[in-house]
Amino acid sequence: LAFNAPRIVLASDWAPAYFELRTLARRVELGREATALAQRQLDVARRKFDAGNATVLDIERWQAELAQERATTVQLEGSLRVRQQQLALLLGASQTPVLSLRETLVPQPPAPLLPGDLLERRPDVQRQARALDAALARVGVARREVFPRLQIDWASSRERLALAGGSASPQMVVGYGVSVTLPLLDGGRIRANIAVQEARAQEAVAEYEKTMLTALTDVETVLVQWSAAEASLRHWQQAQRAGETAARRAERLFDAGMADLGAVLDARRGQLRAQDAVSQAEGVRWAAAVGLRRVFAGTV
């Protein structure tokens, strides 16, 4: 137990860090594309202004958009470098592993019905279960002291009947090493010890129930996070598909001479924002998937 618990904690630390690193890398890539689009839109606005088809307000608006995109991208790049250092530290490596942003791995959803035996794999549950077993065993040992104990050993004695030991629990030697311990005057101490051990057993039961309730709460919390992440990701994927459709239609209208380049760039920027939201939602879903494995003490 002392070995498995740190392993689970370490795995539940580096796995979310890795998926967060992938999310940040993807967002940096999208941020650079959005910055390039904002620059193109600013250039278009300036050409329209020179042609008398735009105002200074249009130029200033796209200048503000470009500055915001650059600031966001720089912030994401800084967060990416910080996460790279943190992940390298967790892995004990001098360099961060190479990321592949084109991987199509998808976390599997949990089963509709999860067996309760999975919770017994948790180190905290196992620790409390063993503490409860030990407390119940001590109660049994304490209760056994009430009954006489028969010992058979070679005592080099031929007395047919003799008393030995203390006055509280005298030992009656029958002969040839056969002795019987009678707890005559020690009953008060034995009953007190039984009461103490039973109280400790009840305390162990309460601790075990508390640990199980904590485990169930963790599971319910992570399941709610998973459901919310799945629902959010589905909505953002719908928005991404709609953005892709809008961008294709804007390009066709531009090719037909029915729309200007600004409309195409606007549609493309909307698509990039939806892709960025999808990347964040996928990262949240991976974090929920790791949380599910952690609460059941599984391998991440």
> What are the φ and ψ backbone dihedral angles of 112, each rounded to 5 degrees?
-60, -35
Query: How confident is the model at residue 116, as a pLDDT?
Result: 66
**How many other C-beta atoms can be found within 10 angstroms of the C-beta atom of residue 292?**
22
> What count of Cα atoms within 13 Å lies in the side-chain half-sphere of residue 35?
15
Query: How confident is the model at residue 168, as a pLDDT?
Result: 46
Q: Which two tokens stand for residue 123?
A: 């180190």
Each residue of 158-187: b (16+ CB within 10 Å) or e? eeeeeeeeeeebbeebeeeeebebebeebe
Sole residue written with tokens 């790279």: 84
Positive or negative torsion for Cα 190, 193, 199, 202: negative
Residue 95: strand, helix, or coil: coil
Rounded to 10°, the helix 56-91/4-51 angle is 160
CA angle 34, 262, 46 (to 5 degrees): 90
What's 121's DSSP letter? G
Nearest partner of 44 among 299, 282, 266, judged by Cα = 266
Residues in the chain, total: 300
Q: For residues 142 and 193, is the Cβ–Cβ distance under 8 A?
A: yes
pLDDT digit of tens for each residue in the chain (300 aa)? 555 556 666 666 677 788 888 899 999 999 999 999 999 988 988 988 888 888 888 888 889 999 999 999 999 999 998 888 888 877 776 666 655 555 557 777 776 656 666 777 777 788 888 888 888 888 888 877 766 665 555 555 554 444 444 444 555 445 555 555 556 556 577 788 888 888 888 888 899 888 888 888 888 888 898 999 999 999 999 999 999 999 889 888 888 878 778 788 888 988 999 999 999 999 899 888 888 887 876 544
- Give me the amino acid identity at 82: V
Q: For residues 281 and 229, is the Cβ–Cβ distance under 8 A?
A: yes
d(CA 223, CA 72): 32
CA angle 278, 9, 227 (to 5 degrees): 35
d(CA 293, CA 123): 13
pTM of the model: 0.68
Cβ-count burial of 188 within 10 angstroms (0-12 exposed, 13-18 middle, 19+ buried)?
A: exposed
